[in-house]
A = this chain, B = another copy of it.
Amino acid sequence: MQETIEQKCISKGVKLTDQRKIIAKVMSESTDHPDVIELYKRVSKIESKISIATVYRTVKLFEEAGIITKHDFRGGKARYEELNESHHDHLIDIKTGEIIEFVDEEIEKLQKKVAEKYGYDLVDHKLELYGVKKKS
Interface residues of A (CB under 8 A from B): 72, 74, 91, 93-94, 100, 102, 104, 106-107, 110-111, 114-115, 117-134, 136
Contacts and interface: CB of A to CB of B under 8 A. Distances in A.
Given A114-B91, A114-B107, A129 B122 contact: yes
Nearest to A70: B74
A114 B102 CA distance: 8
A120 to B, nearest CB: 3
B120 A131 contact: yes
A120 B133 CA distance: 4
A123 B94 contact: yes
A126 B123 contact: no
